[in-house]
Amino acid sequence: MGKRTGLKPPPAGGWLGRQSIAMLILLVAVGVVYANSLDNAFLFDDIETIVELHRPGAGPFQQIEALLGGRAAYRPVRTASYALDYAISGLDPWGYHLTNMVLHGLSAICVYVIATTLFASPLSALLAALLFAVHPIQTESVTYLSGRRDVLSGLFVLAGFYWFLRYRQSGRLPHLVLTILLCPLAFFTKESGIILPLLCFGYDVVSRITRSEPDEEVSGVRAIRAAASAAVREGRWFYLPAGAMAGALAFYVLFFVRGTSQQAWHGGSLEMTLLTMARIFLRYLALLLFPMTLNADYSYNAFPVTTSWIDPEAWLAVAIWGGLGTAWYRLLLRRPPAAFGGLWFLIALLPVSQIVPHHDLMAEHFLYVPSVGFALLVAGLLEPVLNRHRPPAAVAAACILALSVLAVRTVVRNADWHDELTLWRKTVQTAPESARARNNLGAAYLRRGQLSQAEEPLAAAVTIQPDLAVAHSNLGKLFLDRGDLVRAQEELERALAAPSRDAIPRLWLGAVYLKQGKATEAEAQFRQALTHPRSAAYAHNNLGILLATRDRPAEAEAAFREALRLMPDLREAKDNLRRLSDRRERSARNP
């Protein structure tokens, strides 16, 4: 396999002694810092990915079949895990939060066993795992239940990479088979799991580079090229099938799933996108170093994109990355294990680099797997000190203090995710120019019937982003609830004119038409909404109301029953069906 300087084989002994203690420390640390998230509610995408997919009355097999039916972003492993949570705790969020905590704890253990392979110092390995476990950047993945996609996919990636290390150490084929099997599990939990073969290749290259003295760095490029060639040549029976599988999976996502509404480059061109990403990657690094200001939303216009070649922030970011790249190159030739952490960070960011445009320009949950590379880099830089027989007390104290501060910040951040009002109030304070955060805060007030509080953030959202369909839709619902049918119609028509796949505005516009006495127009809106899974049950219910008012009771009953078939717990449909039945009985008694 070639010479592997600086990368030692996995420990051959059992999982007792110091390793067991280290793993217990990691599990306790995760339990302590995330304990206050157990009472948090379902939030934002949780409603669609968890609550709306669970219907009372369905048996366990029907439930799993429904969850695996596919969505715009098809992630069957993630959704199947929700089905298991539902079997344990129903629609009580604590069970889902507990699962996220357990998965994160297992991921931290994987980071530890990987780090024991890379570093000679057990303290360095524990530091890397603890840094990953308690870092507040993980809250969006662990505390936010829809972040299960990142935690579970990350666990599969980490486990697969660990077994690849075992294969490289032992040469045993079952270890490689485990790595290959974990690739599709990681991918079908979240598409970014496609990076696993790239991480393995990065390891193979770095592990073949011999430490160089400063005066030998002129031959570094040749050494890297030779290492890459050797890795490809000796590992072709793994990388060729893995590359073919990765290509097939990428083709599947790009041409069959397309789980994004973003069709164009951010900033209008590939060049502007790349300049924007240079700034974003730098922000990611800053968040890992100083995670004091965290934000749940970086959409328009919370993080403005670069749209001009004359953007000093973008070019400053490019210059900084140039300097960091030079420093990484020198580190690679002198201390490969630490440099591998930096390489991991960049490889893991590739799926979210906007090479394939995605509607989420930036998100903290994108850092779940990349943060492993950051933790390995930090631990690798400190390894010469931590590997001493007695590490300096000042260094140990600094590490403990830093981990404690990060843990406290995580506990505080968990509280921000307690419920939707708390989250979006905090997000608006952090990013007042975020149109989506303003809309979500207004929608939270709207669902509580607090119309006066909802109007200001919704109006601000459409001021910031005039084509934000969902904000116009929510404004239309607000005016509908107030009885201002003219303004409600205007806002809902604006919502339907904007690019959007949401059919909810049609339901509300149909309700406006119904109140205006335009039954034909109302029926047309309800029937159009029947074709959308999220709105179909409500559309059948509204259509039933309309048919009942037009003295078509048989059709109305069929519409109410179809609404209940689609959503057995839809109280409005139950009440409407009961009223229709009472009305027909009264008519029968009094012909």
Domains of the chain are 18-416 (no CATH), 525-591 (1.25.40)
Q: Which of 424, 360, 366 is nearest to 44 (CA)?
A: 424
- Per residue in 232-258, pLDDT (tens digit) is 777 777 777 777 777 776 676 666 655
**Long-range CB contacts (< 8 A, 24+ apart) of 41-47?**
41/93, 41/418, 41/419, 41/420, 42/91, 42/93, 42/145, 43/144, 43/145, 43/146, 43/417, 43/419, 43/420, 43/423, 44/144, 44/146, 44/420, 44/423, 44/440, 45/146, 46/93, 46/144, 46/145, 46/146
Q: Could you tell me the pLDDT band of residue 460, with boundaries at 50, 70 and 90? A: very high
Q: Above 80 in pLDDT, residue 12?
A: no
Tell me which H or E stretch contains 547.
Answer: helix 536-549
Residue 205 to residue 500: CA distance in whole angstroms: 45
- 8 A C-beta contact, residue 7 and residue 231: no
Q: Above 90 in pLDDT, residue 30?
A: yes
In the chain, the percentage of residues whose pLDDT exceeds 70 is: 88
Which pLDDT score, from 0 to 100, does residue 412 have?
A: 97
Structure tokens given for 91: 């629609």
Residue 489 to residue 505: CA distance in whole angstroms: 10
Higher pLDDT, 424 or 207: 424
The whole-number average pLDDT for the span 139-166 is 95
- Per residue in 167-223, pLDDT (tens digit) is 988 888 899 889 989 998 998 899 889 899 999 999 988 888 765 544 454 466 777
Which pLDDT score, from 0 to 100, does residue 370 have?
A: 97
Structure tokens given for 277: 């990403």
- Per residue in 16-28, pLDDT (tens digit) is 577 889 999 999 9
Q: Above 90 in pLDDT, residue 269?
A: no
The whole-number average pLDDT for the span 118-138 is 95
Cα-to-chain-centroid distance, residue 285: 18
- 8 A C-beta contact, residue 487 and residue 512: no
Residue 571 to residue 584: CA distance in whole angstroms: 20
**What single DSSP character describes residue 42?**
P
Q: Above 90 in pLDDT, residue 5?
A: no
Which pLDDT score, from 0 to 100, does residue 170 have?
A: 86
Q: Could you tell me the pLDDT band of residue 260, with boundaries at 50, 70 and 90? A: low
Query: Residue 267, by phi and psi: left (phi above 0), alpha (psi -120 to 50) or beta?
Result: left
Higher pLDDT, 546 or 10: 546
- 8 A C-beta contact, residue 336 and residue 473: no
Q: Could you tell me the pLDDT band of residue 586, with boundaries at 50, 70 and 90? A: confident
Across 87-96, 123-132, 285-294, least confident range: 87-96
Which pLDDT score, from 0 to 100, does residue 54 have?
A: 61
- Per residue in 324-350, pLDDT (tens digit) is 999 999 999 888 889 999 999 999 999
Model confidence, pTM:
0.88
What mean pLDDT, rounded, does the chain reach?
86
- 8 A C-beta contact, residue 353 and residue 370: no
The whole-number average pLDDT for the span 367-387 is 95
Q: Above 80 in pLDDT, residue 70?
A: no
Q: Above 80 in pLDDT, residue 262?
A: no
Peptide bond into 474 cis (omega under 30): no
Q: Look at residue 391 and give its three-state secondary structure.
A: coil
